[in-house]
Structure 1
Amino acid sequence: MSFVDKDLLSIQEARILMEEAREARDTMLTFSQERLDSVVDALAAAAAEMADGLAALSAEETGYGRQQDKAIKNRFICSTLPKRLRSMKCVGILHEDTVEKTMDIGVPVGVLVSLTPAYSPVSTAIYQVLTAVKSGNPIVIASHERASKVTARLIDRLAEAGRECGLPEGAISCLKTVTKSGVLELIRHPAAAMVINTGVSELHREGAESGKPYIYGGTGNSPVFIERTADVRQAVQDIIASRTFDHGVVAAAEQYVVADGLIAEEVRAEMIRNGAYFMNEEEEKKLVNFLCPEKGKADMEVMGKSAMQLAHQAGFDIPDSARVLVSQQKYISDQNPFATEFLCPVLAYYIESDWLHACEKCMDLLVKSHGHTLVIHSGDEEVIRQFALKKPVGRVLVNTPATLGSMGATTNLFPAMTLGSITAGAGITADNVSPMNFIYLRKAGYGVRGAGEFLRTPGEALVREDDQDVKDLLKQILETLSRGLD
């Protein structure tokens, strides 16, 4: 029986994919924006045909999340993203100022290497491919090993659809023999122009140290503040719907609820009416022991499960109506297990006396959540602005569910599955990543002034050599002054 070295196979495959992508880049540089747009529309249509089937396959292969919600994410990206992309221009002349005589020209950065997560593998890969092609870049996808089959099926179809529209071989591809060694070969390959890591935390250090421009869609566990002027009923409905969507696997989803003390009881009662189950101390211990077999580190094998599944496996009973498990907390510390990112329907609940104290609490929680996303429910515009202006966070969402608002479904933020985390010192942007993150601007400037006026030495005459009239006038003035002195 022969032995097959999977790492070597993965490394060799990675090298081939990167060389093909490098060749594809040369061809794609000749494509106009109009031609790229037509390819994007064809790719989106091909992905839309597979959206529901791939959602089922994704849930089955990874064991994470809820099939119906994954289908919603897939369809959202296939329909909403292309509409938003059509109005954008990424390559060619983006702006021309005929008065100042300057031009901005969009240029693709080159081969993109994208690391996609196990939690949202399909929607993330569709989004990455569409935005890469829109901006004229080839892309090589490195899926999480746990989602390699569903990702390969998607990328094979998109590559085929791309070729039918004239995209060169290698413009869209994915690593099928997925190992860490192969992924590192992609990241470090000389052809790689940029690395995009959507929440694959175990490869964050390698991506950051690759020497390439690096975009990191990091960990979330977002805080949400319900201020006393908020519509409490709507706020709670939004939070519960957001935290339970796809069983809580979206990084931006709320994990910490901070309630204004004046309305705290109303908030708690409304949460219970919407399916929140407040655990007692014994149940909390059982849940933590189940979720965190290693201190301070959640067990990824049990993420993306429903509240009922979590409680049952942890060893306690909850009502059939329960949708989210809640622990009421007072303090924040590194030893508090609820400071760990839980990608499942679990919430920590805090009460603060007023918005100023809530502001401090949210600041502390943002440190725990790496400054990914902050949500505020309020009717007081001044409080909203204070939160938006002063919090160290990539995005502030107002009166909307974090999961859907962050990806641009219930807000007008760019529809994205990669949300930058530069506020945590990770990556080069805090944007909802768009095709504009995958280009650079080439500046063109026409000459509007002569070089002579900048090349004079100190004390040199301010008169041009060919300005004879001015010279003659100066000569007369000097002669007159000379006679006067005599």
Structure 2
Amino acid sequence: MTMTIQERIDAARKAQAQILDYTQEQVDKLVFEIAKVIYLNAEPLAKMAVEETRLGKYEDKIGKNTDTPTAFWAYLKDKKSVGVIREIPEEGIIEVAHPIGVIGAVTPATNPTVTPLCNAMHALKGKNALVITPAPRAEKTSTRTVELMREALVKCGAPADLIQIIEEITIEKSAELMEKCDLVIATGGPGLTKAAYSSGTPAYGVGPGNPPVILDRGYDLVDAAKKTFIAVGSDNGILCDGDNLMLYPQEEEKDFFKALRDEGVLIYEDKDDVEKFRAALFSNGKINSDLVGKDADVIARAAGFDIPAETKVLGLKIEGVGKEDIMCKEIMGPVVVLKDYDTFENAVEMAVRNMAEAGGIGHTAGLFTNDKEHIKYAGERIPVARLLVNQPTPDAWGPATNGLSPAVSEGCGTWGNNILAGNVDYIHMLNVSKIAMPLDVELPDGEKLFKD
């Protein structure tokens, strides 16, 4: 029998009340066990996701299902989230964690396994319950993911209803969940984020991706090509933080293109050829949804080209950025558009303009450089929450190789109409009280301070 949204909320509140007295050790045990069960079922879940959604690549989804729980647990295991979590004697402050309650989480079809898992890990870390809205296109995969996590909770002696998923999802059901829960985590497009913010419930949303990446002069072209191949090809390019526009020095075009081709990128430079891809990928200003997340050879066939099936990434040389070329919009496929630049300042200007005119502002950008001053220059001018230096832009999710907190929701700040400019973390699923003790200090003399 299908439960109503209210029944789901009631069951979640009842389950959450049962763990309010859990210790940090008990909480961490739950977080560990749900991570473990998804790790151990990485292959069948990956197979299910590809077969159901027809998005991405099986091998890459296996990697997501193993690497993500590993990274999340490594990050969360030593973090305090129960009771007193920090004391700052010099400021007279004691911080105390409190659960939020019932969190509603909206899951995209692009990540039907790791998004439910990681939102659940963050939620449970703070003694919260989680009710998940699956993408209709991925309902079976997300439901199986939740079933496995619920089984893991029961083996720990915890109530299964700490993690639930809505069946037979509709827009109306999603809206009701957003309205009745205590916090919304909305991972998806701008329409979804707007709905979350309009629900009357506090919400964390994300904006669309479309990262520009700048290759600076003097950087190793082979390394840049390798990391670009990874960024664009991973899971057939459906990652919102994967490269879309690559800006490179004009005099290095020949050598850089060779490095890309050596990695396996099939590059089209002829304007007529690129136009065929443009026509295949976009129609009436919108991306062709039938090609989202598809293999490179499928996209090529749609454009009228017969290429080797093992081709993983396509490179398309363009003449303009932003509104000058629709190819600069988010493609969500194993395709990178390539544009040369004159000066580094020119490259930064194009990166900024591309996001403002073609989308992706606030999300993520990339930079390959050995110049610290250029890092600062770009960081001060490119309006993104994450600037990835000398690494694939999908590392914006926060692997162990950088200092970003692991996340499946990457906030884009007010640039992208989000409340948070950063990765949604477990701390964002807690209410933190500050106990303020009196300090033995005196107020500065205002007469002396402001007299002149």
Instruction: Quickly say closer, same or farther: Cα 1:121–1:26, change in 2 above 3 A.
Output: same
> By how many angstroms is 1:411 displaced?
2.4
Contact 2:322 2:355 in 1 (8 A): no
Alignment of 1:108-147 (within 5 A): 108-147=99-138
* Larger deviation, residues 59-68 vs 389-398: 389-398
SS at match of 2:113: helix
1:400 aligns with 2:375: no
Residue identity over aligned pairs, in percent, reads: 27
TM-score of the pair, normalised by structure 1: 0.85
The whole-number CA distance in structure 1 between the counterparts of 2:266 and 2:48 is 31
Alignment of 1:213-362 (within 5 A): 213-279=202-268, 280-293=270-283, 295-319=284-308, 322-334=311-323, 336-362=325-351
Q: Which residue of 2 aligns with 1:159?
A: 150
Contact 2:107 2:115 in 1 (8 A): yes
Q: Deviations over 1:144-198 (max 9, x none)?
A: 0000001111101211211232333421101111111111111111xx1111111
* Larger deviation, residues 205-214 vs 261-270: 261-270
* Larger deviation, residues 13-22 vs 141-150: 13-22
Instruction: Quickly say closer, same or farther: Cα 1:267–1:101, change in 2 above 3 A.
Output: same
> By how many angstroms is 1:335 displaced?
6.0
Q: 1:208 aligns with which of 190, 197, 216?
A: 197
Alignment of 1:415-426 (within 5 A): 415-426=406-417
Q: Deviations over 1:117-136 (max 9, x none)?
A: 10111111111111111121
> By how many angstroms is 1:99 displaced?
5.2
Q: Which residue of 1 aligns with 2:36?
A: 45
* Larger deviation, residues 283-292 vs 236-245: 283-292
Instruction: Quickly say closer, same or farther: Cα 1:200–1:51, change in 2 above 3 A.
Output: farther
Q: Which residue of 2 aligns with 1:80?
A: 71
Where does the alignment leave 5 or more consecutive residues of structure 2 unmatched?
Answer: 444-452
Contact 1:325 1:347 in 2 (8 A): yes
> By how many angstroms is 1:30 displaced?
2.2
Instruction: Quickly say closer, same or farther: Cα 1:321–1:45, change in 2 above 3 A.
Output: closer
- Residue type of the partner of 1:287? F
Q: Which residue of 2 aligns with 1:383?
A: 374
Alignment of 1:357-372 (within 5 A): 357-367=346-356, 368-372=359-363
Contact 2:42 2:66 in 1 (8 A): yes
SS at match of 2:365: strand
SS at match of 2:380: helix
Where does the alignment leave 5 or more consecutive residues of structure 1 unmatched?
Answer: 1-8, 455-486
> By how many angstroms is 1:409 displaced?
5.2
The whole-number CA distance in structure 1 between the counterparts of 2:322 and 2:388 is 25
Contact 1:228 1:262 in 2 (8 A): no
The whole-number CA distance in structure 2 between the counterparts of 1:366 and 1:340 is 9
Q: Deviations over 1:279-309 (max 9, x none)?
A: 333333332332223x222122321111111
Contact 2:410 2:424 in 1 (8 A): yes
- Residue type of the partner of 1:48? Y
Contact 1:208 1:426 in 2 (8 A): no
Q: 1:438 aligns with which of 422, 429, 432?
A: 429
- Residue type of the partner of 1:50? N
Q: Which residue of 2 aligns with 1:474?
A: none
Q: Deviations over 1:63-107 (max 9, x none)?
A: 000011001011012222112111111231112244554311111
Instruction: Quickly say closer, same or farther: Cα 1:81–1:333, change in 2 above 3 A.
Output: closer
The whole-number CA distance in structure 2 between the counterparts of 1:122 and 1:406 is 15
> By how many angstroms is 1:46 displaced?
1.6
- Residue type of the partner of 2:216? E
- Residue type of the partner of 1:109? I
1:13 aligns with 2:22: no
Over aligned residues, Cα RMSD in angstroms? 2.2
The whole-number CA distance in structure 1 between the counterparts of 2:308 and 2:164 is 46
Instruction: Quickly say closer, same or farther: Cα 1:61–1:397, change in 2 above 3 A.
Output: same
Contact 1:407 1:417 in 2 (8 A): no
SS at match of 1:64: coil
> By how many angstroms is 1:14 displaced?
1.9
The whole-number CA distance in structure 2 between the counterparts of 1:315 and 1:122 is 34
The whole-number CA distance in structure 2 between the counterparts of 1:196 and 1:268 is 40
The whole-number CA distance in structure 2 between the counterparts of 1:99 and 1:257 is 47
The whole-number CA distance in structure 2 between the counterparts of 1:108 and 1:177 is 29
- Residue type of the partner of 1:260? P
The whole-number CA distance in structure 1 between the counterparts of 2:215 and 2:254 is 12
Q: Deviations over 1:191-226 (max 9, x none)?
A: x11111112444222112112222123221111100
Tell which structure's C-alpha radius of gyration is larger.
1
- Residue type of the partner of 1:241? I
Instruction: Quickly say closer, same or farther: Cα 1:260–1:406, change in 2 above 3 A.
Output: farther
SS at match of 2:248: strand
